[in-house]
Amino acid sequence: MDRPNTMALLAVPTRMAMLFALMDGSALPASELAHRAGVSPQTASHHLALLIEAHLLVVERCLRYRYYRIASPAVVEAIESLLVISGQPALKERADHSQLERLRLARTCYDHLAGRIAVSLADALQKKDWIVLEGRDFQVTERGESAFNKLGIDLPMLRKQQRLFARRCIDWSERRPHLGGALGAALLARFQEMDWVRKKTGDRQVHISSKGQQELWKRFGIDL
Amino acid sequence: MDRPNTMALLAVPTRMAMLFALMDGSALPASELAHRAGVSPQTASHHLALLIEAHLLVVERCLRYRYYRIASPAVVEAIESLLVISGQPALKERADHSQLERLRLARTCYDHLAGRIAVSLADALQKKDWIVLEGRDFQVTERGESAFNKLGIDLPMLRKQQRLFARRCIDWSERRPHLGGALGAALLARFQEMDWVRKKTGDRQVHISSKGQQELWKRFGIDL
DNA sequence: TAGCTGATTCGATATCCATCGAAATATGAA
DNA sequence: TTCATATTTCGATGGATATCGAATCAGCTA
């Protein structure tokens, strides 16, 4: 496996189109990137694999979904400096590094929370002995049954759903497990109900309200 | 003629090798760049033409020689930012913009002076009516004959040389004419003799001594 | 279990272009 | 002029790779 030539990767318009689509710090699935670059899914997959290998992109796997994002601010800077000398008009929306930082803190992964907040929450729930990790799933303990109930989450109802109940999902930015599945989705929904967090539509960004910060600290010892 | 793809230009190792050789702000002839990149002169010529067209390089023509150099600091910056994300070790000798500035001020063009000092000198010599521009050459006036002699330059001797006497050479950084040919070379040699300027061997950089600065101002009204 | 969707792998094809030999050009030197 | 040197142009070739169809894989749902 040779060292991939980073310069050559940036030379192909299709790959550059994909990178452009991610320059604002967002994370998009392969199909969307294929569409934006105007190529077939196979071709997009091929290019994305190369960009991953060269560490220009990273992929965040959540359940069966995969979101691609720019690997680091350095990549954005390099592309921007290339735009300068290529005589292209600079990007209107420059990459917002602080936004990327916010995404690392709290974002959605499909329909549940991800990021530092989700990893911290999974840690706290295990520490409080509400859940335990067993293989690729979490199990809710006896203590957890009543505690989740008191939090306003109807576990028996969730179990009736035909989806994985409490899936362990590996976080990209933290590289540690957080809570997915029906329970993860219910937690996000309940947090929104209580106005602990607010989810922007059409975006994966999640804002933590001051009330949410207080409650997370008081109830779970989470200080983000 | 399509717009050349700057990214594609940087993707080829041969072209990158040439750019690397010029990253320190130096200017080299095509043959030297071909040698450093390990390709034939034809191939080098082809690549250099593309780099010129894309405004990544500029060429400085002096008599029959052509020196290629990086077109602007932005190019150096872009290449350096690419090195960051390509995982290459950074260049030991990073491009020194202040050095590039010094080159713009005073450098050699083959065997005579170029840069701001040379352009200013040509201007001053015309203003003092020592020389006049005629087509592609300068002519020494009657007043110039004695003045150059007093400066320690033997014009009759220079005229015996089998080379162009006082060629007009267009300066890259200034885009204006300066003095080349036998007279230009003699002036540089005389300036070195009088320790007005010092030429580093194996380099095109020329240092102007404080004595030189004084004399240039006193005798020619040149204030660099 | 089968079914669905998103994504990847494999194989074949077509296109792009870096390279160099040969020849031409440019420019100054003898 | 004639020669010499540096560079460029032209043409042909070979290698690299972007692309997509078809098949396969991965993960969840019913």
Smallest CA–CA distance, residue A201 to chain B, in Å, is 33
Cβ-nearest to A84 among B10, B13, B74 = B74
Supply φ then ψ for residue B48, to 5 degrees: -60, -40
Q: Is A50 on the interface with B (CB under 8 A)?
A: no
Min Cα–Cα distance to chain A from B1, Å: 16
Evaluate if residue B187 carries a pLDDT over 70.
Answer: yes
The model's pLDDT over B47-59, given as tens digits with 9 standing for 90+, comes to 999 999 899 998 8
The rounded mean pLDDT for chain B is: 84
pLDDT tens for B133-157 read 887 789 999 999 999 999 999 998 8
pLDDT in tens, B23-43: 777 788 898 899 888 899 999
Mean pLDDT score of chain A = 84
Round the CA-based radius of gyration of chain A to a whole number and report it: 20
What pLDDT does B110 receive? 67
**Is A63's pLDDT higher than 80?**
no
Reported as a single tens digit per residue, the pLDDT across A115-150 is 899 999 999 999 999 999 887 789 999 999 999 999
In the structure encoding, which two tokens stand for residue B17, read together?
A: 């090798």
CB-strand contact A64/C, under 7 Å: yes
Q: Which of A90-94, B60-64, B105-109 has the lowest mean pLDDT?
A: A90-94
Please report, rounded to whole angstroms, the spatial distance between the CA atom of protein residue A203 and the C1' atom of nucleotide D6.
Answer: 60
* Top-confidence residue, A23 or A166: A166
A175 pLDDT higher than 80: no
- Using a CB-CB distance cutoff of 8 angstroms, which residues of chain B are in contact with residue A16? 7
Closest CA to A69 of A111, A117, A125, A107: A107
| Residues carrying CATH 1.10.10.10, chain B | 6-95
CA A210 to chain centroid, in Å, comes to 22
Residue type, A85: I
Q: In chain B, what percentage of residues exceed pLDDT 90?
A: 40
Q: In a mutagenesis test of the A interface, which of B5, B81, B83, B88 is the best target, namely the one with the most A β-carbons within 10 Å?
A: B81
**Minimum-distance residue to D7 (CA–C1'):** B45
Residue A112 pLDDT:
84
State the average pLDDT over residues B72-84: 80
How large is the average pLDDT for residues B201-223? 88
Asked whether the ipTM of the predicted complex exceeds the cut of 0.85, the reply is no
> Could you report the per-residue pLDDT of A15-34, keeping only the tens digit for each?
999 998 888 777 888 988 99
Residue A170 has pLDDT above 90, yes or no: no
Do A6 and B86 lie within an 8 Å CB cutoff? yes
Q: What's the gap between Cα B37 and its chain centre?
A: 22
DSSP characters for A133-191?
EETTEEEE-HHHHHHHHHTT--HHHHHHSSS-SSBEEE-TTT-SEEE-HHHHHHHHHHH
- Overall fold of domain B6-95: Arc Repressor Mutant, subunit A (1.10.10)
- The 8-class DSSP code of residue A66 comes to E
Please give the residue that has the higher pLDDT: either A64 or B147: B147
The answer for B 85-124 residues in CB contact with A (under 8 A) is: 85-87
Integer Cα distance of B44 and B147 in angstroms: 45
Percent of chain B scoring above 70 in pLDDT: 87
Distance from CA of A57 to the nearest CA of B (A): 11
Q: Which two tokens stand for residue B66?
A: 């052509």
